[in-house]
Structure formats: structure tokens, C-alpha cells
């Protein structure tokens, strides 16, 4: 299982890559492997604001639907339009082309509530 060191992770299995004040968010390799083949991703429109740990969307796999939880508070700046045509990118490239949304980070101090790669590996016993 892949757990990149340059990302932060939530206990709800989302990741965030932080560049300046922009956060790119997706679900972890562990989460996608547990869910199975993703057939649909429901993500919010640009302009919506979410608080840390709030549900911001969902992913639908063949046998289940799972909520997506916001790792950091912020305003949605961009959604991954590729997922409309090819939702399995979440499975095949969860940290590259399978990202969900990009946000403008509202409170960078919330990063302290997230896990490092090592902490996330311990959480998932990987």
C-alpha cells in the first residue's frame, strides 16, 4: 500500500497535499482498496465552504457508498472533472489523477489535527 510522505492524512482516510494555501484532497490507497472499484464520485461544486471533518461528498463502489470527510476547513476552488468520466482513477491513481477537490485552506493550524504518513500507517496497520 502506498502512503506518500509529503501528504497529511485524516483518520477518515482522506489525504491532503498542501501547496502554498491550496489543499488538494483525495481518498487514500487504503480506503480505495477497502471500498473496491469506484463507480461514481459525488463532489461539491466550486464555491462551497466546508469545516474540518464535515462531509463534503461521497464515493460509490459496486457494493457500498462511503462519505468523504474534509481534512481541513476551506472553500472549494476546483473539482476533478476527470472523475465524471473515469471514476476508477480513484482506484488506479488515488494520489495523482484520482484527487477529488482543491480548496483554499481557511485555517492552517488545523493541520496539527492531521496524521503524518507514519501515523497513518500505524492507524491502518500497514
Grid coordinates representing 2?
Answer: 502506498
Number of domains in the chain: 1
Q: What is the pLDDT of residue 30?
A: 96
- SS3 state at 39: strand
Grid coordinates representing 93?
Answer: 491513481
CB 30 within 8 A of CB 7: no
Q: What is the pLDDT of residue 1?
A: 81
Q: What are phi and psi of 110, to 5 degrees?
A: -65, -20
Residue 86 counted as domain residue: yes
Residue 123 counted as domain residue: no
Q: What is the pLDDT of residue 109?
A: 97
Domain span at residue 101 reads 8-107
- The residue length of the chain stands at 126
Q: What is the pLDDT of residue 121?
A: 96
CB 103 within 8 A of CB 23: yes
Tell me: the pLDDT tens digits for 53-76? Answer: 999 999 999 989 999 999 999 999
Tell me: the pLDDT tens digits for 18-53? Answer: 999 999 999 999 999 999 999 999 999 999 999 999
Burial class (CB in 10 A: 0-12, 13-18, 19+), 76: buried
pLDDT at 117 over 90: yes
Alpha-carbon gap, residue 54 to 85, rounded angstroms: 26
pLDDT at 126 over 80: no
Give me the chain's average pLDDT, please.
96
Kindly report the CATH number assigned to the domain that includes residue 13. 2.40.50.100
Amino acid at each position: 500500500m502506498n502512503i506518500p510522505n509529503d501528504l497529511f492524512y485524516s483518520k477518515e482516510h482522506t489525504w491532503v497535499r498542501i501547496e502554498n494555501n491550496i489543499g488538494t484532497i483525495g481518498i487514500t490507497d487504503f480506503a480505495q482498496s477497502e471500498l473496491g472499484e469506484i463507480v461514481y464520485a459525488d463532489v461539491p461544486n466550486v464555491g462551497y465552504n466546508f469545516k474540518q471533518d464535515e462531509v463534503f461528498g461521497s464515493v460509490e463502489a459496486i457494493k457500498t457508498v462511503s462519505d468523504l470527510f474534509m481534512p481541513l476547513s476551506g472553500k472549494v476552488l476546483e473539482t476533478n472533472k476527470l472523475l465524471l468520466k473515469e471514476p476508477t482513477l480513484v482506484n488506479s491513481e488515488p494520489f495523482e489523477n484520482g484527487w477529488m477537490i482543491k480548496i483554499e485552506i481557511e485555517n492552517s493550524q488545523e493541520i496539527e489535527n492531521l496524521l503524518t504518513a507514519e501515523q497513518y500507517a500505524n492507524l491502518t496497520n500497514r
